[in-house]
A and B are shown apart, each in its own frame.
Chain A
Amino acid sequence: MSNAPALPDSSGRFGEFGGRFVPEVLVPALDELDAAWRSFRVDPAFQAELRTLLRDFVGRPTPLTFASRLSADLGYRIWLKREDLAHTGAHKVNNTVGQVLLARRLGKRRIIAETGAGQHGVATAAACALFGLPCVVYMGEEDTHRQAVNVHRMRLMGADVVPVTGGSRTLKDAINEALRDWAASVRETHYVVGSVVGPHPFPALVRDFQRVIGDEARAQFAGSSGIPLPDVVAACVGGGSNAIGMFTAFVGTGARLVGVEAKGRGDGLGEHCATLTYGRPGVLHGARSYLLQDAEGQIASTHSISAGLDYPGVGPEHAWLKDEGLAGYESATDAQAIEGFLALSRTEGILPALEPAHVIGWLMTRPLPAGTTVLMNLSGRGDKDLETVRSWLAERVTPSRSPAV
């Protein structure tokens, strides 16, 4: 059942996507990381150490919960993979623990990361505290305000949070700044990329650390439902790591894979970050993939109520899955995400992060036939978003379509 992904190929490509479009100074480090990735995948000692950490530090396996009241409301049968219960509150920690372990094996003495919602930054800070490594997290200045609680959490765990004031002051600019730091510090520093984006081998490396989500969920689903596969496997897509982590175990099984992107305020360029829905191919942050860009190839500014989805690119493996017809990509607006947040809170007693709340918002549009079985990745918990939700609600009347309690 651990179907091994065939891609990327030796040049780091998923079909025509991926690759390694970076300044020459970073190439030797990527070569070194590529070799390390190839060896850790098959190294029993590394895998054993990782498994122990995932169990004892992260708290894996995370549960699978049948969402009975939400299911009854929507007319589906919905199971939630509870990545919100992973240590630090999101799936991001699966990757950071793996990469920091790898960095230590490579003899790196310093860790850097970018963060959008702050969840990846928090997860990196936690892994660095665990291993006693210094940690610098770049975060767009706008996001440091939107996600102030996570800034505090990172600092408490000893990370140095650097607000990025260039460009649009969000996730893409934080990645730019992390890449600049890495170009200067590459000999002693490892860059813990936070999603399945960036130059090869990051998209494959991060996928391999996140695929535990889908591997666990597939077995748990079969056990809980008594049927081998769900009809639909759904996850939100920012860079795409929680979705790839969920999808990898199901590619080619016949389950329909659905990624849900953030449609923000609407479909105009600059109003959303639904890259696969509205973008076209280009090169950003080291890889060829779909991008939100203008006619001249300048990267567009984006908007989403959820900082973790607010990114104008997407992982190259998703671009390939889309073009091959192996996965489909839908979108949900800010308002739909809020409705999803409220619905899950009231029906299941779970406050979701606004990122996976987009998946619930999409399901609430009843896009599937009644009775469909849905396995969705609940990629994180909503504590970080309480202020955003509170101020949204304060500015508006309660959404009319919120489910009756």
Chain B
Amino acid sequence: MPDTRLGEGLGARLRGLRDAGRKAFVPYVTAGLPGVDEALLRGLAGAGADAVEVGIPFSDPVMDGPVIQEASKRALEAGTTPAAAFDLIRRAALDVPVAVMTYLNPVLAMGMEAFAGAASAAGVAGAILPDLPVDEAAGWMACAKAAGLAPVLLAAPNSTPERLTAIAAAGGGFVYCVATFGVTGAREELAASARRVVAALRPLTETPLLVGVGISTPEQARAACGFADGVVVGTALVEPLLRGAPAEVIDRARRFREATG
């Protein structure tokens, strides 16, 4: 079992997969949403997830489409907090690394150092803050790294070469390659821009490159794995939870796993 308590846990795990010629499948679910419990997280790991991304909901999720907005809203209505999310992660005690995804303000409210420390103490290996671009991230990255947390940065289809270089140099764990213009949610097809982001980053870094935002079907995941090191899948897995069908989440996760190989 890898030591997921080290910030290197996430990056090392994903690099290890890549070196073995395998692709990473990273499912996302929202903490605090009814149905998201230890059993569900373990079920995702059991379905073959290489890492699990756990969302800590924020009231104003500008990077998210309707499905994850609704999930965030229900989770907050159910009273969830960052502390409760960390607790869930600790109790689940997964044997794959966990990354948390949230927005900057809940981190600031707890304090960057305290947040990074609490995450790390719960066994979290990485953190993704989609409203913190690389130019504003220095303070957070220092706190995250000091706590042994990999600060995952996002790259976009329109990031300039200079910005991609900065993202590649500064980020940890993996680079979250946003496949398309827009927010999380289902898309009919995999955007051509996904391939361009990955191709532009490839010569700049050894860090694994995972594609996310708009990977809605196993076919799209398979296609993305033709050029990327793996995929992050959120909306397609959260959507059954909104219908109160957690078993379907695991089912879908298995199909994504098979497709990514």
Contact = CB atoms under 8 A, between A and B. Distances in A.
Interface in A25-48: 25, 27-28
Interface stretch (B19-27, B40-48, B128-136, B230-238): B128-136
A23 interface: yes
B240 interface: no
Contacts of A11: 135
A297 B108 contact: yes
Contact of B81 (A23, A186, A281, A296): A296
A28 B155 CA distance: 12
Given A297-B110, A299-B59, A299-B60, A21 B104 contact: yes
A190 to B, nearest CB: 15
B108 A184 contact: no
A27 B133 CA distance: 8
B105 A180 contact: no
A172 B59 CA distance: 10
Contacts of A179: 62
A297 B133 contact: no
Nearest to A173: B60
Scoring B76, B136, B167 by chain A CB atoms within 10 A of each residue's CB, the highest score goes to B136
A28 B159 contact: yes
A166 B67 CA distance: 11
Contacts of A162: none
A187 B105 CA distance: 28
Contact of A24 (B59, B60, B154): B154
A235 B177 CA distance: 45
A288 B110 CA distance: 15
Contacts of B134: 24
A63 interface: no
B181 A24 contact: no
Interface in B112-136: 130-136
B95 to A, nearest CB: 29
A167 B132 contact: no
Main secondary structure of the interface of A (DSSP, over half): mixed
Nearest to B70: A166
B181 A176 contact: no
Interface in A170-187: 172-173, 176, 179-180, 183-187
Interface in A131-189: 166-167, 172-173, 176, 179-180, 183-187
A289 to B, nearest CB: 11
Interface string B218-246: 00000000000000000000000000000
Nearest to B109: A297
Given A180-B183, A183-B183, A298 B133 contact: no
Nearest to B63: A23
A21 B181 CA distance: 17
Instruction: Select the residue from A184, A187, A293, A297 with max chain B CB neighbours within 10 A.
Output: A297
Most buried by A among B73, B157, B158: B158
Contacts of A297: 58, 105-110
B154 A23 contact: yes
Contact of B158 (A25, A167, A285, A291): A25
A58 interface: no
Contacts of B35: none
Contacts of B159: 24, 27-28
A183 B59 contact: no
A405 interface: no
Contacts of A285: 60, 62
Contacts of A361: none
Contact of A187 (B63, B153, B181): B181
Interface string A1-36: 000000000010000000111111101100000000
A283 B156 contact: no
A172 B62 contact: no
Nearest to B83: A296
A97 to B, nearest CB: 27
A27 B106 contact: no
B202 interface: no
Interface string B130-153: 111111100000000000000001
A282 interface: yes
Given A183-B63, A184-B183, A299-B59, A24 B105 contact: no
Interface in A272-316: 281-286, 291, 293, 295-299
Contacts of A284: 60, 105
Interface in B92-110: 104-110
Nearest to B130: A23
B178 A25 contact: yes
Given A24-B134, A24-B156, A183-B181, 6 more contacts: A23-B62, A183-B63, A184-B182, A282-B105, A296-B109, A298-B105
Interface of A: 11, 19-25, 27-28, 166-167, 172-173, 176, 179-180, 183-187, 281-286, 291, 293, 295-299
6 contacts: A28-B160, A172-B60, A180-B182, A187-B158, A284-B105, A296-B106
